[in-house]
Chain A
Amino acid sequence: MPTANIAGRDIALNDEGFMTEPTQWTEEIGTFLARQIGIDPLTEEHWKVIRFLRSDFDAQGETATLRRVSTVAGIGTKDLYTLFPGKPARKMAYVSGLPKPKGCV
């Protein structure tokens, strides 16, 4: 299992670079990860999404899907594509230190 030294801490990552220990995450690490994928700076809109993802993961044990973010947090899918361009579901999870959302079979 690879680790990386981020903000002075050893952080566990999987081979795709996603954090494997969500409890290791801090806002500082989130900012660092966002910069890795070209999102800089993180605006208040970004943080709103990240905070929802973090608290929803604590409650549900799973990373919220785009639809869940739009229905439960009220942040539209179009906006999520603007904030996290390309593959928003993966990018949101990556920055928030969570596993990428499972598309159920």
Chain B
Amino acid sequence: MKRLLVLGAGTAGTVVVNKLRPRLDPAEWQITIVDQDACHHYQPGYLFIPFGIYRRRDVERPRRDFIPAGVEMVLGRIEEIDPQAQRVTVAGGRHLDYDYLVIATGTHPDPSQTPGYEGAAVGDGIHQFYTLDGAVALYERLKSWEGGRLVVNIMEFPFKCPVAPLEFTFLADWWFRERSRRDKVEIVFATPMSEVFTKPVAARHLTGVLESKEIAVETDFYVERIDADAGALVAYDGRELPYDLLVTVPVNLGAEVVARAGLGDELNHVPVDKGTFLSTQHGNLFAVGDAAALPTSKAGSVAHFSVEVFAENFPRYVEGLEMLERFDGHANCFIESGFGKGLLIDFNYDTEPLPGKYPLPGIGPFSLLQETVTNHWGKMMFRWVYWNLLLRGREIPLPAEMSMYGKER
């Protein structure tokens, strides 16, 4: 009996077991998946919680509901990965031996990476929406906030769901206008990059959207520390950015257990081949989803598309055959822009987000890099798609490989 062990039952890990169980003979393959807690979160939904659009119950489901029959689920904190002994230890001392290991432990906000972020002096001025508890606390804060300067900042790249901080500013603009409080709120978006987005065409479009919504932008702002007593972000180049309410994207780090096993880079993400996700160090180890160090977005769409490629390759790889499919870095993100509208971007390692129609060329129904009502509804319906189709590994009529059809250069 061969043993496949998957660490992490988030988007990537859950889709891996759903795609691989039917492809691997149950008489030959035992599949086990480990996670530290019992609750699966629809993370794209966190964005909507501060504005009261979603509530806690909208984004939580039991992980077990998405694990197929024939896959053992182990609940417990992962204490140690030993690639030499091919063994993982979970809390309580249980050992899980493996022949093949898939690391899908994600990436997580780590406030401790920024001096001044944690501690008694922080008070109620510093928030983030990258955890469910954080998003709920921000909902409570926004309800009673009197106004002032709202600063939305990014501490470090890469971080997961790279469009979410922009979306947050768009939604905040909409939310305060709806409540006739926009004149009491100044919104500032601060990023360590030189532009609001890393790819030039999308950056131009998004800069236009920010200007139309009167959101100020502070670029090249690389935060050294938070001065919580003064209520200001302090950048390495000496600039200070005062805030009344700070909504930050903390530094994102991969799982600490990955670092302890010597498998991580400087951010604890696992270096892998960007086409096949095979570890650069171990021939029986893969990393998928946000846990992998890939030069594309850390996003659910990437986790989904990349696992489709991985699931085609893995049964061949274990037979000693060449992996035929190569991931192209395909990412696809709805960008909620407020007032019931949204944008959509579709891109890969080599092609930046371009305008056009998606997924059907010339027809859509979605429009790339344009604010439309249909894009907004695509984003809202996606939660159903996620719970009912995507996580369960069912077919979604969106190919894993990016297409140039329908895009305009």
A104 and B157 within 8 A (CB): yes
By secondary structure, the B interface counts as: loop
B324 vs chain A, min Cβ distance (A): 23
| A71 interface contact, C-beta 8 A | yes
A67 in contact with B220 given A103-B198, A105-B296, A105-B331 (CB within 8 Å): no
| B175 interface contact, C-beta 8 A | no
| B319 interface contact, C-beta 8 A | no
Rounded to whole angstroms, the CA-CA distance of A67 and B269 in the bound complex is 13
B237 and A65 within 8 A (CB): no
A72 in contact with B266 given A77-B236, A104-B297, A105-B331 (CB within 8 Å): yes
A61 vs chain B, min Cβ distance (A): 10
Residues in B whose Cβ lies below 8 Å from that of A86: 237
Residues in A whose Cβ lies below 8 Å from that of B236: 77-78, 81
Residues in A whose Cβ lies below 8 Å from that of B266: 65, 67-68, 71-72
A104 and B158 within 8 A (CB): yes
A77-95 vs B, Cβ < 8 Å mask (1 yes, 0 no): 1100100011100100000
Chain B residues 171 to 208 lying within 8 A of chain A, measured CB to CB, are 192-194, 197-199
Rounded to whole angstroms, the CA-CA distance of A103 and B156 in the bound complex is 9
Chain B residues 130 to 156 lying within 8 A of chain A, measured CB to CB, are 156
Give 12 A-B contacts (CB < 8 Å), ordered by A residue: A66-B222, A71-B266, A77-B224, A81-B237, A87-B220, A103-B192, A104-B295, A104-B296, A105-B198, A105-B199, A105-B296, A105-B347
User: Contacting A87 at CB < 8 Å: which of B194, B197, B298?
Assistant: B194
Q: Is the interface on chain B under 10, 10 to 19, 20 to 34, or 35 or more residues?
A: 20 to 34
Interface residues in A, total, Cβ within 8 A: 18
Rounded to whole angstroms, the CA-CA distance of A96 and B289 in the bound complex is 32
B216-256 vs A, Cβ < 8 Å mask (1 yes, 0 no): 00001010100000000000110000000000000000000
| B373 interface contact, C-beta 8 A | no
B404 vs chain A, min Cβ distance (A): 18
Rounded to whole angstroms, the CA-CA distance of A71 and B264 in the bound complex is 12
Interface residues of B (CB under 8 A from A): 156-158, 162, 192-194, 197-199, 220, 222, 224, 236-237, 265-267, 295-298, 331, 347
Query: How many contacting A-B pairs (Cβ < 8 A)?
Result: 47
Residue of B nearest to A104 (CB): B158
A57 vs chain B, min Cβ distance (A): 14
A102 vs chain B, min Cβ distance (A): 6
Rounded to whole angstroms, the CA-CA distance of A102 and B199 in the bound complex is 10
Rounded to whole angstroms, the CA-CA distance of A77 and B237 in the bound complex is 10
Rounded to whole angstroms, the CA-CA distance of A97 and B298 in the bound complex is 28
Given contact pairs A86-B237, A105-B158, enumerate 10 new A-B contacts (beta carbons under 8 Å). A62-B295, A67-B266, A68-B265, A78-B224, A85-B237, A87-B194, A102-B198, A103-B158, A103-B198, A104-B296
Rounded to whole angstroms, the CA-CA distance of A25 and B301 in the bound complex is 39
A79 vs chain B, min Cβ distance (A): 10
Residues in A whose Cβ lies below 8 Å from that of B222: 66, 77
B156 and A67 within 8 A (CB): yes
Rounded to whole angstroms, the CA-CA distance of A86 and B298 in the bound complex is 28
Residues in B whose Cβ lies below 8 Å from that of A85: 237
A96 vs chain B, min Cβ distance (A): 18
Most chain B beta-carbon neighbours within 10 Å: one of A68, A77, A81, A85: A81
A105 in contact with B297 given A77-B224, A81-B236 (CB within 8 Å): yes
Residue of A nearest to B297 (CB): A105
Residues in A whose Cβ lies below 8 Å from that of B295: 62, 102, 104
Most chain A beta-carbon neighbours within 10 Å: one of B158, B197, B237, B266: B266
User: Contacting B267 at CB < 8 Å: which of A67, A77, A81?
Assistant: A67
B211 vs chain A, min Cβ distance (A): 21
Residues in A whose Cβ lies below 8 Å from that of B220: 87
Rounded to whole angstroms, the CA-CA distance of A84 and B347 in the bound complex is 33
A75 vs chain B, min Cβ distance (A): 13
Residues in A whose Cβ lies below 8 Å from that of B331: 105
Chain A residues 33 to 68 lying within 8 A of chain B, measured CB to CB, are 62, 65-68
Residues in B whose Cβ lies below 8 Å from that of A72: 266
Rounded to whole angstroms, the CA-CA distance of A102 and B219 in the bound complex is 16
Rounded to whole angstroms, the CA-CA distance of A68 and B157 in the bound complex is 11
A65 and B224 within 8 A (CB): no
**Top 8 closest pairs, chain A to chain B, by CB:** A71-B266, A104-B158, A103-B157, A81-B236, A68-B266, A105-B297, A105-B198, A103-B198
Rounded to whole angstroms, the CA-CA distance of A68 and B193 in the bound complex is 16
Residues in B whose Cβ lies below 8 Å from that of A67: 156, 266-267
A99 vs chain B, min Cβ distance (A): 12
Residue of A nearest to B331 (CB): A105
A2 vs chain B, min Cβ distance (A): 19
Rounded to whole angstroms, the CA-CA distance of A40 and B197 in the bound complex is 33
